[in-house]
Structure 1
Amino acid sequence: MNQWHATLTNAFGDQLTETVGVLGGGSHEIAALTVTTYDSAYRYIDEYGDRFGLLITDETHHLAADTYLQIPEMTIAPYRLGLTATYERADGREELLEDRMGPVVYEEVVDNLAGEFLSEYETIQMSVELTSEERSAYDDEYQLYRDYVDNHDFDLWKEQGYAEFLKRTSYDPQGRRALIAKQRAERIARTATKKLDTLDNLLKRHHDDRVIVFTANNDFAYDISREFILPCITHQTDTDERTEILERFRSGEYSMLATSQVLDEGIDVPAANVGIILSGSASKRQYAQRLGRILRPTDDRQPARLYEIITTDTMETYVSQRRRDGVSSSADG
């Protein structure tokens, strides 16, 4: 919200008789241009829904949530524009946005934006092997999980199939054990010893660059922070500390930082030119957001690099392929 407010104020402040307003964070400043969050808009849309003729939603894929759908339904704005780098949702609910916001009217793939609007970039996938001990433990846990899935014919790549698997684990002891086995196997692949060795080499190689290390969960982010003496931001980091870390990253006092999923979107992250994905989900949205963190154009126009460190012959191989497929930037309105 603050980022949008600052951008609009800089762009239009002198041309408006009123200042750019803010609705949220304790402020109820309604103006010709008003910036708000989804939570505040949902809370006050019945009061202010008749005040505006144009509705613009950023990260519009979030608008498809049950509660947020009331925002476009309760505003009279005849003109609407949704912006997002990741229109598709894992649950398919983006289809609900067509009636509320309109169809997709413009879509652009990242490659077509590189150079003029975004930094030139390259993605580099690096593979590491499990140690013999890690391999043995991984295979045991993964086989237990796969046996259970195969015996019950779950289609885990479809949301309904995975939801059914999770539902069954709530009352079936064997299903619960299979879920735990899956989580253990994922952790082994995610935190493989040789990943840290590869990360060490990459950090040394890019010691003069601005680097963000992405992980899938807080524990691994903190492990990386301790191992390599990097500042760390997770959803547990309070606002003041997060602001200070990002400001030091912006100024160059910090050249590297580790994070979990909290920096994927919604936070104004200073420009970085190197991203290192140690672990993540199969979400195309998450991959696109992480790629976007290193693509902001800079004066020196140095190409950005996104490294993805994958543990071979594990679930990560398939997860990586799914999140890399079809990444694009979209707009609907």
Structure 2
Amino acid sequence: MVAPTIDLMIQWHATLTNAFGDQLPHRSGDGTEQAVGVLGGGTHEIRPITVTTYDSAYRYIDEYGDQFGLLIADEIHHLPAPTYRQIPKMAIAPYRLGLTATYERADDAHELLENTGLIGPVVYEEEVDELAGEYLSEYETIHMQVELTDDERSQYDEEYGIYREYVDTHDFDLWKAEGYQEFLAHTSYDSDGRRALIAKQRAEELARTAAKKLDTLDTLLKRHHDDRTIIFTANNDFAYEISQEFIVPCITHQTKTDERTEILERFRTGEYSILATSQVLDEGIDVPAANVGIILSGSASKRQYAQRLGRILRPTDERQPARLYEIIATDTMENYVSQRRREGVEAGT
């Protein structure tokens, strides 16, 4: 079993140990041995069932690639990365299974999973709506818009104007990966291009952190004071700002593993009812009992949006539907970003 992060590796180890027990018959036929081993995070235990990270699998695949008959890759959309492709290429496992809730990649590299024999074709898939109710919580998505203040609007229009003027005069197709790469290439040697990039970043920051978003957030937190709520942001600074403003715990990539585990456990027990985070909880991590998500900022990635939706869809004893709020600054780049990331994810909702 290969997983993208140590957190997911630990999660899978616990799940598989619970399913298969502590011991299995030894492969030599003499006695028993520990059922599930771990390769990664400072542990090096190869067992009949071994859980590892993509990084550790890549590092040791030449040593252990001939010892397993089944290769399972979690969050398989990571596998087409140039280094990670070596894992299935150097493994002899005739049986292979990939798992993900977000199969397609923006660069279309997911096609390599089938076309180059890394894993094989998609054999089973379910839409979120088909799982809602029995396997996942019923849910609804609510999109809210807030106005920029007069000062924010003035600054935003100025910065966005600088960016747009440069892009329009060079005819970049920014909705395609190669077009945006061309824009970034220009910024490396063109002073006007660098100024346009900085202007874009400043405009995005103004929209992401709009003051009225916090007012709306305050209203939603009061409305859902009896729920378990996760607040999603695009960067650590905004997550920490929210944490300080509303006095709620915060988890980012900078949060140490022990602290993260403790925060999630207190969230599970109800001691904490609100979490603020940047992107570290987007993928895979089993966030217990969350039934409300509030997106204050994020990327145009459909994958990120689907992953954030997935954080609140764990079935609970509560009968009320999960809710995902998306708060965007009106008449800004966030309108386009929001539309693109929701395309195809909410079909039927």
TM-score, normalised with respect to structure 2: 0.92
Instruction: Give the drift of 1:301.
Output: 3.3
Q: Deviations over 1:186-225 (max 9, x none)?
A: 0111111111110000000001100000000011101111
The residue number in structure 1 matching 2:146 is 128
The question of 1:12 aligning with 2:28 is answered no
Take 2:216 and 2:346, find their aligned partners in 1: how far apart are those partners?
A: 29
The residue number in structure 2 matching 1:2 is 10
Take 1:163 and 1:271, find their aligned partners in 2: how far apart are those partners?
A: 40
8 Å CA contact 1:107–1:328 kept in 2: the answer is no
The question of 1:84 aligning with 2:92 is answered no
**Matched residue of 2:317: which SS?**
coil
Take 1:266 and 1:304, find their aligned partners in 2: how far apart are those partners?
A: 18
* 1:149-298 pair list within 5 angstroms: 149-298=167-316
The question of 1:25 aligning with 2:25 is answered no
8 Å CA contact 1:128–1:311 kept in 2: the answer is yes
Q: RCO greater where, 1 or 2, for CA within 8 Å and sep 6 or more?
A: 1
The question of 1:103 aligning with 2:111 is answered no
The residue number in structure 2 matching 1:47 is 63
* 1:55-94 pair list within 5 angstroms: 55-94=71-110
Larger mean Cα displacement after TM superposition, 170-179 or 82-91: 82-91
> Structure 1 pair 191/22, CA: closer, same or farther in 2 (3 Å)?
same
The residue number in structure 1 matching 2:335 is 317
**Matched residue of 2:280: which SS?**
helix
* 2:326 aligns with one of 308, 314, 319: 308
The residue number in structure 2 matching 1:117 is 135
8 Å CA contact 1:108–1:328 kept in 2: the answer is no
Take 1:27 and 1:14, find their aligned partners in 2: how far apart are those partners?
A: 17
Take 1:263 and 1:256, find their aligned partners in 2: how far apart are those partners?
A: 13
Instruction: Give the drift of 1:300.
Output: 2.3
**Matched residue of 1:262: which SS?**
coil
Larger mean Cα displacement after TM superposition, 89-98 or 284-293: 89-98
8 Å CA contact 1:85–1:328 kept in 2: the answer is no
8 Å CA contact 2:286–2:311 kept in 1: the answer is no
* 1:35 aligns with one of 47, 51, 69: 51
**Matched residue of 1:175: which SS?**
helix
Q: Which has the higher helix share?
A: 1
Q: Deviations over 1:254-313 (max 9, x none)?
A: 100100011111433222000000000000110011000000001223310000001111
**Matched residue of 1:21: which SS?**
strand
The residue number in structure 1 matching 2:28 is none
Corresponding letter in the other structure for 2:107:
D
Larger mean Cα displacement after TM superposition, 16-25 or 125-134: 16-25
Larger mean Cα displacement after TM superposition, 149-158 or 237-246: 237-246
Aligned residues: 329
Take 1:327 and 1:129, find their aligned partners in 2: how far apart are those partners?
A: 26
Q: Deviations over 1:123-173 (max 9, x none)?
A: 000111111211111111111101100100100000000011011101100
Q: Deviations over 1:3-45 (max 9, x none)?
A: 1111111112168323212111232222221111111111110
Corresponding letter in the other structure for 1:57:
A
**Matched residue of 1:57: which SS?**
strand
Corresponding letter in the other structure for 1:16:
L
The residue number in structure 1 matching 2:3 is none
Take 1:271 and 1:97, find their aligned partners in 2: how far apart are those partners?
A: 33
Corresponding letter in the other structure for 1:8:
L
Instruction: Give the drift of 1:328.
Output: 8.1
Larger mean Cα displacement after TM superposition, 299-308 or 215-224: 299-308
Corresponding letter in the other structure for 1:190:
R
8 Å CA contact 2:37–2:49 kept in 1: the answer is yes
Take 2:346 and 2:82, find their aligned partners in 1: how far apart are those partners?
A: 25
Runs of 4+ with deviation above 6 angstroms:
none
> Any gaps of 5 or more consecutive residues in structure 2?
1-8, 26-32
Take 1:325 and 1:185, find their aligned partners in 2: how far apart are those partners?
A: 24
> Any gaps of 5 or more consecutive residues in structure 1?
none
Take 2:46 and 2:257, find their aligned partners in 1: how far apart are those partners?
A: 25
8 Å CA contact 1:86–1:328 kept in 2: the answer is no
Take 1:197 and 1:124, find their aligned partners in 2: how far apart are those partners?
A: 17
Identity %: 82
